[in-house]
């Protein structure tokens, strides 16, 4: 069975950037889990609540087909987070699908996994991402090998569909 893990902020993740891709994957038979800084529940920017299945320290990228970082204002809590950076680096080193949407692309930039990669993100992160050596296009969705990025909630469905295609082709 294919598996994916969503990395979300405990508070203020972007609801649709989590729900839309998660629904797409689950409806296609992909088993999903959700990780955050602590167990219990997490609350989105617009009030969506979800269960947290595991904490970041327990995420082992080798166990998943895809690791997905969800955006929203809360995702900035992971910009300097060593565990979030470890997860991003291990996902790349294990040749797994690494997906990130909106502000969360800044996490990957700070983890050092975007150098030379073609990506997109929420516009506020453009300079950070470019400063870390990535090619930032500003498009709605980008895929560079096993790396998938999207600019925000308007492309959450396309983001989920791209992740599903990548899982099925990988």
pLDDT at 145: 97
Q: Which domains does the chain have, with CATH numbers?
A: 3-169 (3.40.50.880)
Q: Residue 132 has what DSSP assignment?
A: T
pLDDT mean across residues, the chain: 98
Residue among 34, 56, 53, 41 at smallest CA distance from 10: 41
Q: What percent of the chain has pLDDT over 70?
A: 100
> Using one digit for the tens of pLDDT, what is the confidence trace for 103-121?
999 999 999 999 999 999 9
- How high is the pLDDT of residue 111? 99
What are the tens digits of pLDDT across the range 30-83? Answer: 999 999 999 999 999 999 999 999 999 999 999 999 999 999 999 999 999 999
Structure tokens at 50: 């979800």
Q: Rounded mean pLDDT of 144-166?
A: 99
pLDDT of residue 69: 99
* Per-residue confidence band for 8, with pLDDT thresholds at 50, 70 and 90: very high
- Give the confidence band of 163 by pLDDT, cuts at 50, 70, 90: very high
pLDDT recorded at residue 104: 98
Q: Taking a C-beta distance cutoff of 8 angstroms, is the pair 151, 102 a contact?
A: yes
């Amino acid at each position: 069975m294919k598996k994916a893990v969503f990395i979300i902020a405990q508070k203020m993740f972007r609801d649709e950037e989590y729900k839309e891709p998660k629904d797409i994957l689950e409806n296609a038979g992909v088993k999903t889990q959700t990780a955050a800084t602590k167990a219990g529940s997490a609350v989105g920017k617009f009030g969506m609540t979800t269960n947290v299945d595991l904490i970041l320290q327990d995420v082992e990228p080798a166990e998943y087909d895809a690791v997905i970082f969800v955006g929203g204002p809360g995702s900035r809590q992971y910009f300097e987070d060593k565990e979030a950076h470890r997860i991003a680096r291990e996902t790349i080193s294990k040749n797994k699908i690494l997906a990130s949407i909106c502000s969360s692309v800044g996490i990957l930039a700070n983890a050092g996994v975007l150098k030379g990669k073609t990506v997109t993100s929420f516009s506020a992160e453009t300079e950070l991402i470019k400063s870390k050596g990535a090619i930032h296009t500003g498009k709605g969705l980008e895929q560079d090998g096993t790396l998938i990025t999207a600019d925000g909630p308007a492309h959450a469905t396309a983001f989920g569909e791209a992740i599903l295609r990548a899982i099925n082709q990988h």
